[in-house]
């Protein structure tokens, strides 16, 4: 039987896209949005332009109101809610470093989304390594952190894993790795039904698709069939014709999901992986576990 994408009500949220994390906090829904200064402050400039002004913000989803801008000179941020606290994991650009020569990951916390703690370092790069995206889940016993590495032993953006019981002290998990011999990237991780599910980016030919894999132990992985991409670009869609005339989607990356009102909502970036992107959203009528299991049905 031919695979049919489960997504409905696909729409463009913003012509200028960025990596986002949706989250629910004290009964309201929010997006953590990363922003490149070259896209949001100085449109049309090269992606490295005034990169020290890159950062992330918190936006109330329903009102579209910006609540706070917690940090500049940081990027690749994601959010996790634990009880009455929002914890943000982010990559620190550091001082006097070239663009994306990131050597540490940090966390900040808040109980009101306005006042934030001082950054606390949680991961330091090994010699010759740089760090990028990260994502965290709780599996009922411990918190598991996935982070991207370009350690020269592997293909850049390989996924490594660490664990913690207190969100302060982290231990790398021996043997836990995904994608050391091929391009992966843009991860999001979810824990459902005894599985760790990863959304990741795969580059084949001219396009970038989001795909899904899963594991029970973070060591042995089961990829969804090749003909079941989680998200694939619409190559007829003009991404941002005002700023980038002629550019059409070859990319569907940086997917993040949340359950709300009996549906799953997914956000992702279209564009060309070269400075032109938009933010899209779509829906699935069901639970996240039902959605993820569909990609592995026999």
pLDDT at residue 14 is higher than 70 = yes
d(CA 110, CA 113) in angstroms, rounded, equals 5
Could you read off the pLDDT of 196-244 as tens digits, one per residue? 999 999 998 899 999 999 999 999 999 999 999 999 999 999 998 888 8
Is the separation of the CB atoms in 275 and 250 below 8 Å?
no
Q: What's the pTM value of the predicted model, to 2 decimals?
A: 0.96
- Token readout for 125 is 């790069």
pLDDT at residue 131 is higher than 90 = yes
What's the mean per-residue pLDDT of the chain? 95
Q: Label residue 263 by pLDDT band (50, 70, 90).
A: very high
Is the separation of the CB atoms in 251 and 208 below 8 Å?
yes
Could you read off the pLDDT of 42-92 as tens digits, one per residue? 987 888 999 999 999 999 999 999 999 999 999 999 999 999 999 999 999
Is the separation of the CB atoms in 267 and 20 below 8 Å?
yes
Q: Label residue 267 by pLDDT band (50, 70, 90).
A: very high
What's the whole-number mean pLDDT along residues 137-156? 96
b/e sequence 198-236, b meaning 16+ C-beta within 10 Å: bbbbbbeeebbbbbbbbbeebeebebbeeebbbbebeee
Identify the architecture of domain 20-185 in CATH: 6 Propeller (2.120)
SS3 assignment for 145-210: EEEEECCCCCCCCEEEEEEECCCCCCEEEEEEEECCCCCCCCCEEEEECCEEEEEEEEEECCEEEE
């Amino acid at each position: 039987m031919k695979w049919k994408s489960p997504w409905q009500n696909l729409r463009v949220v913003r012509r200028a896209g960025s990596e986002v994390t949706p989250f629910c906090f004290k009964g309201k829904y929010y997006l953590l949005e990363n922003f490149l200064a070259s896209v949001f402050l100085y449109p049309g400039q090269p992606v490295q332009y005034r990169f020290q002004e890159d950062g992330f913000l918190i936006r109330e989803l329903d009102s579209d109101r910006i609540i706070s801008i917690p940090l500049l000179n940081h990027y690749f941020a994601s959010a996790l809610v634990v009880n009455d606290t929002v914890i943000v994991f982010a990559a620190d650009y550091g001082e006097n470093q070239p663009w994306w020569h990131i050597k540490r990951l940090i966390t900040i916390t808040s109980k009101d989304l306005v006042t934030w703690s001082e950054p606390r370092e949680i991961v330091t790069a090994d010699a010759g390594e740089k760090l990028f995206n990260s994502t965290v889940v709780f599996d009922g016993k411990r918190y598991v952190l996935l982070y991207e590495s370009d350690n020269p032993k592997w293909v850049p953006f390989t996924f490594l894993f660490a664990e913690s019981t207190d969100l302060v002290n982290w231990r790398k998990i021996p043997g836990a790795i995904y994608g050391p011999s091929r391009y992966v990237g843009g991860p999001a991780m979810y824990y459902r039904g005894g599985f760790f599910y990863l959304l990741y980016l795969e580059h084949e030919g001219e396009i970038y698709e989001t795909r899904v894999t899963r594991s029970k132990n973070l060591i042995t992985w089961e990829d969804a069939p090749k003909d079941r991409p989680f998200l694939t670009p619409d190559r007829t869609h003009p991404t941002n014709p005002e700023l980038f005339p002629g550019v059409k989607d070859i990319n569907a990356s940086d997917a993040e999901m949340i359950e709300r009102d009996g549906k799953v909502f997914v956000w992702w970036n279209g564009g060309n992986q070269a400075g032109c992107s938009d933010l899209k959203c779509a829906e699935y009528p069901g639970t996240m576990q039902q959605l993820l299991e569909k990609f592995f049905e026999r």
